[in-house]
Chains A and B, each alone.
Chain A
């Protein structure tokens, strides 16, 4: 399955110079835990980093830094991995695992942001599949038991 099918298309974005406090407000408003930081180039939104609610707490609150004086560009994670929308699900999982990333923005062939995937989405997908599989197995066992008592 191409990762583009799994990716969430509505992504909350912010520019590098967005103050951290505004980013926190965006997260609250849209009920998300992360924001993709993007640069605008030729009308394309290019992902350059990700900021999570946890980042805000650990980099700002825990360090006694003034949240109004800091921007998301200052605290975002630098080594960002992005995934092409036609990449497969399992390849994506492997890539994210290799880099230790829980989330990855999904881009089109021009590199422009089109969505985001997270480990939770995979867990949900695989959990659904596992649930279906176990139902299938138990149904088969039942049928077997009825056919050959």
Chain B
């Protein structure tokens, strides 16, 4: 039971401190705690029911509510995209040149970069993969130090929200035949990246994963 140095007399609690308190001032009963037997007196003097005695604002439980147990069952089984995504993914800007994007991919050993408009907003404007760079820069004999990412990237981008259930990420990958999906917040800013591997490894539904993986693997033009 919580104890305080200064205990203010709570006017709503008839009993006041343990052991009884000031009691009621009306003429219903002597102790002011229990309603006296017999017909209720006229007037609107409040009656204290036994259930309220000693508990008042604390509630029927009679002890302080400490909140739910620390064991958060939701974390045991990843359910939301935020649980499986790579947070704060490596990104590049639309104004970066292809050589910069390639170096980022090499340094961080990744195959896709979300592209943002500018560093202030971090709003997603496109996505560029290693294959995009190979096909659009090398195959076309373009100068990697002058061609910018915005001319190579794909858009619009298939995205999800970090609060979406994992299943949504799977469904999007299947529908649009992509292996990676950036997660964006309500303002369109990049907050995470989910890949096919993330979903396959961490979501428990093996048959659904199998279905999606086999459908993503369909040859496409």
Chain A interface residues toward B at CB < 8 A: 20-21, 24-25, 27-28, 31, 33, 53-54, 56-58, 60-62, 64, 67-68, 120-121, 123-124, 126-128, 130-131, 134-135
Contacts and interface: CB of A to CB of B under 8 A. Distances in A.
Given A58-B102, A127-B214, 7 more contacts: A58-B106, A60-B138, A64-B145, A67-B138, A121-B217, A127-B209, A131-B210
Given A21-B139, A134-B207, A57 B213 contact: no
Interface stretch (B45-53, B74-82, B129-137): B129-137
Given A61-B144, A123-B217, A130-B210, A27 B102 contact: no
A53 B106 contact: no
A53 B211 contact: no
Interface in B29-83: none
Contacts, number: 88
Contacts of A123: 213-214, 217
Q: What DSSP secondary structure best describes chain B's contact surface?
A: helix
Nearest to B135: A28
B204 interface: no
Contact of A57 (B134, B210, B214, B221): B134
B203 interface: no
A25 B139 contact: yes
Contacts of B217: 120-121, 123-124, 127
A54 B207 contact: no
B194 interface: no
A146 to B, nearest CB: 21
17 contacts: A24-B134, A24-B139, A57-B102, A57-B130, A58-B105, A58-B106, A67-B138, A67-B141, A123-B213, A124-B213, A124-B214, A127-B210, A128-B210, A130-B207, A131-B210, A134-B210, A135-B207
